[in-house]
Amino acid sequence: GENVEQHPSTLSVQEGDSAVIKCTYSDSASNYFPWYKQELGKRPQLIIDIRSNVGEKKDQRIAVTLNKTAKHFSLHITETQPEDSAVYFCAASINTGNQFYFGTGTSLTVIP
């Protein structure tokens, strides 16, 4: 089955700096990679996703890159703000409708 690894587990950055979270996956058949943001006690919220036919996708301050050959993908948050503080999860899936295999999560703290 799929195995998704995520690093780092915790990350602290100064407000305005960039944050990068990296994930690797094992199943070459995976072709859909969403990123979720989860605040304490709340449901995960999709913030960005990428499919295997695309190498990079950007949405304002958030971007995701995918390297299919190396089987890794990364989340980039620029100009971080305190409200970006949360736990971020990457996931991998075969197509959008199958079960997601989640990474272990990264607790991001943005220091004002």
Binding site for another protein (CB under 8 A): 32, 34, 41-46, 49, 89, 93, 95-105, 107
Using DSSP's 3-state secondary structure scheme, residue 84 falls into helix
Looking at beta carbons only, is 28 or 104 nearer to another protein?
104
Measure the CA–CA gap between 14 and 11, rounded to whole angstroms: 10
CB of 44 to another protein, least distance (A): 5
- Which residues are within 8 A (CB) of 39 and not within 5 positions of it... i.e. 6 or more apart? 86, 87
- Which residues are within 8 A (CB) of 73 and not within 5 positions of it... i.e. 6 or more apart? 22, 23, 25, 33, 50, 64, 65, 66, 67, 90
Looking at beta carbons only, is 15 or 51 nearer to another protein?
51
Using DSSP's 3-state secondary structure scheme, residue 17 falls into coil
CB of 88 to another protein, least distance (A): 11
Looking at beta carbons only, is 72 or 78 nearer to another protein?
72
CB of 6 to another protein, least distance (A): 8
Looking at beta carbons only, is 73 or 102 nearer to another protein?
102
